[in-house]
Amino acid sequence: MLVKDEHNRHKIDRFIREMISSQLMYGVEFHACDQTMQTVKLKASALVDGAKVVPSGAVDLIQLQQKGYAYIAW
């Protein structure tokens, strides 16, 4: 969901991609798991501007929850 248009192999719906862009303008941070990116052979340069690569998405979630952030599954 965080890839630039030219890397959108999974044909993520345009509406969702526009919502991500909109949220970035409001300062929302999106984190991408580097382990997953390596598995699917995706480089950081393929991500939308503003997306942050973290070493492990699971560890990142745990650390954010320890800081008081809430995980909302959708």
What's 35's DSSP letter? H
- pTM exceeds 0.85 for this model: no
Per-residue pLDDT tens over the stretch 34-49: 999 999 999 999 998 8
- For position 10, what pLDDT does the model report? 62
Residue 59 pLDDT more than 70?
Answer: yes
> Tokens at residue 42, please?
């995706």
| CA 73 from centre of chain | 14
Backbone angles phi, psi at 44, to 5 degrees: -60, -30
- 13-22, 30-39, 59-68: range with lowest mean pLDDT: 13-22
Specify the 3-state DSSP secondary structure of 32: strand
Backbone angles phi, psi at 47, to 5 degrees: -85, 155
Per-residue confidence at 60, pLDDT binned at 50, 70, 90? very high
Contact 41, 19 (CB under 8 A): no
Query: What is the fold of 5-66?
Result: Hypothetical Protein Ychn; Chain: A, (3.40.1260)
